[in-house]
Amino acid sequence: MIIVIDGPAGSGKSSTARAVADRLNIEYLDSGALYRAVTLIYIEANRDKEVFFELLNQKEISFYYEDQTFYVAIDGQSVTNELRTAKVAEFVSEVAALPRVRSFVNNLMREAVIDGLYIAEGRDLGTAVFPDAELKFFMSADLEERAKRRYKERKSKNPEITLEEVKQNIAERDLKDSKRKADPLKKADDAIEFDTTDVTFEQQVDKICSKVSEVIEVQN
């Protein structure tokens, strides 16, 4: 069984999905981390697409969720701490827009959820990856609020960053995601839309846990 949360950057989907997974004791699947892992391979290939796709076919990407952390390894070597670095952030949108990459990552995720109960978050899960998901959410928030959240997350590790830079970065990411030819960001017709602009984190988690619990009870 798979439950999905889609939405733009900074909408709260990642932290909410992890909290729901922890509270309900279900598996968590981080699609963004997988795209970032693939981006590391792209960087290793010096951004040469031919070399990149050759490497991608040779590499083994493994992952699991434990203690509120989504761990990723390439050929058995952990890359978890490298996923959120600036070099990956610079190229992840470019890599994620490639149709062959999206197909590769989608297949990784589909294979992972064959057995068990999962909650996953991303940008096209309810429309392209898991169109038959038992429950779909689309989380959103206004740009200003999303920028403030992302700025708060990054400020400690990057003291020189400004709120305006973060806001511009998110706006550019929104545009790329919505205009992407392969699986653009959009709300699935049957998704529950949830604007988190004026909602506390606990309220977000409570609402989604309530809906998920209802579905689990019906399934059982």
Give percent of the chain with pLDDT exceeding 70: 100
pLDDT beyond 80 at 157: no
Q: How confident is the prediction for the chain on average, in pLDDT?
A: 91
Q: What is the pLDDT of residue 180?
A: 75
Residue 177 CB neighbour total at 10 angstroms? 19
Tell me the average pLDDT across 7-35: 91
Report phi then psi at 208, rounded to 5: -70, -40
Residue 140 pLDDT more than 70?
yes
**pLDDT category, 217, cuts 50, 70, 90?**
confident
Residue 137 has pLDDT above 90, yes or no: yes
Quick one: DSSP state of residue 114? S
Q: Which tens digits make up the pLDDT trace of 80-113?
A: 999 988 889 889 989 988 999 999 999 999 999 9
Dist. CA 216–CA 220, nearest whole Å? 6
pLDDT of 35 > 70? The answer is yes
Tokens of 61: 């990407």
Mean pLDDT of 151-174: 87
Instruction: Using the predicted structure, report yes or no on whether residue 183 has a pLDDT greater than 80.
Output: no
Domain ranges of the chain: 2-202
Over residues 107-120, the mean pLDDT reads 92
5-9, 47-51, 124-128 — which one is most confidently predicted on average?
47-51
As a whole number of angstroms, the distance between CA 29 and CA 77 comes to 19
pLDDT of residue 55: 96
Mean of the pLDDT values across residues 54-81? 94
pLDDT at 219 over 80: no
- For residue 67, the model assigns a pLDDT of 86
- Assign domain 2-202 to its CATH superfamily: P-loop containing nucleotide triphosphate hydrolases (3.40.50.300)
Other CB atoms within 10 A of residue 40 CB: 22
Give the Cβ contact number of residue 184 at 10 Å: 15
Would you say residue 220 has pLDDT above 70? no
